[in-house]
C-alpha cells in the first residue's frame, strides 16, 4: 500500500519552520516499511529562498533511516496531472478523525497519537 504521510504535527510536533520533537512516529513508520508499504511524504513544506524546509523534512526521514517512495507525489502517478499524491491511506494530523494528543509542555498544537494509529493499522491488518 502507498501511504501518504504529512510531516508537521504528524511525524513530529508542530514547530515549523524548525523540525519538531519526536512523537513516536519513527518505529511505526519503520514497521510499515518493513511490511512492504511505501511511504510518500505529503507536506506543505517547500524549499525556497527563506529556507530548505522540505529538505529538512526529507533529512528527518534519512536520519531516522526511513526510506521514502515519494516526496509530495507518487512516482508511479502518470495518469493525472492532479497535485494530489496518490495513496491508499493518508496519515495527517489535520485529517478528520485523526487521533491526536495535546501536551502543551511538548507542543503548542495537537499532534498525532501514534499508539492509536498503530493499533488502528494492526486492526486493519496493515
What is the C-alpha radius of gyration for the chain, rounded to an integer number of angstroms?
A: 14
Nearest to 2 by CA among 86, 59, 75, 82: 86
Number of shown-chain residues binding Mg ion (CB under 5 A): 4
User: Is 8 one of the binding residues for Mg ion (CB under 5 A)?
Assistant: yes
User: Is 2 one of the binding residues for Mg ion (CB under 5 A)?
Assistant: no
- What residues pair up with 101 in beta bridges, in sequence order? 111
Q: Kindly state the smallest distance separating residue 120's Cβ from Mg ion, in Å.
A: 18
Q: Kindly state the smallest distance separating residue 10's Cβ from Mg ion, in Å.
A: 5
Q: Cell numbers of 81, please?
A: 496531472
Among 13, 23, 85, 93, interactor with Mg ion by CB under 5 A: 93
User: Is 113 one of the binding residues for Mg ion (CB under 5 A)?
Assistant: no
Question: What angle in degrees, to the nearest 10, is found between the helix axes of 25-34 and 114-123?
Answer: 20
Give me the residues that bind Mg ion (CB under 5 A), please: 6, 8-9, 93
Amino acid at each position: 500500500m502507498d501511504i501518504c504521510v504529512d510531516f508537521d504535527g504528524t511525524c513530529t510536533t508542530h514547530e515549523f519552520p524548525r523540525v519538531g520533537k519526536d512523537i513516536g512516529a519513527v518505529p511505526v513508520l519503520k514497521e510499515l516499511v518493513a511490511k512492504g508499504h511505501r511511504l510518500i511524504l505529503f507536506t506543505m513544506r517547500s524549499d525556497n529562498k527563506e529556507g530548505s524546509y522540505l529538505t529538512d523534512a526529507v533529512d528527518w526521514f534519512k536520519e531516522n533511516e526511513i526510506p521514502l517512495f515519494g516526496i509530495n507525489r507518487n512516482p508511479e502517478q502518470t495518469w493525472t496531472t492532479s497535485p494530489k499524491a496518490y495513496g491508499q491511506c493518508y496519515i495527517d494530523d489535520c485529517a478528520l478523525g485523526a487521533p491526536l494528543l495535546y501536551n502543551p509542555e511538548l507542543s503548542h498544537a495537537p499532534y498525532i497519537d501514534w499508539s492509536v494509529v498503530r493499533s488502528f493499522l494492526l486492526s486493519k491488518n496493515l
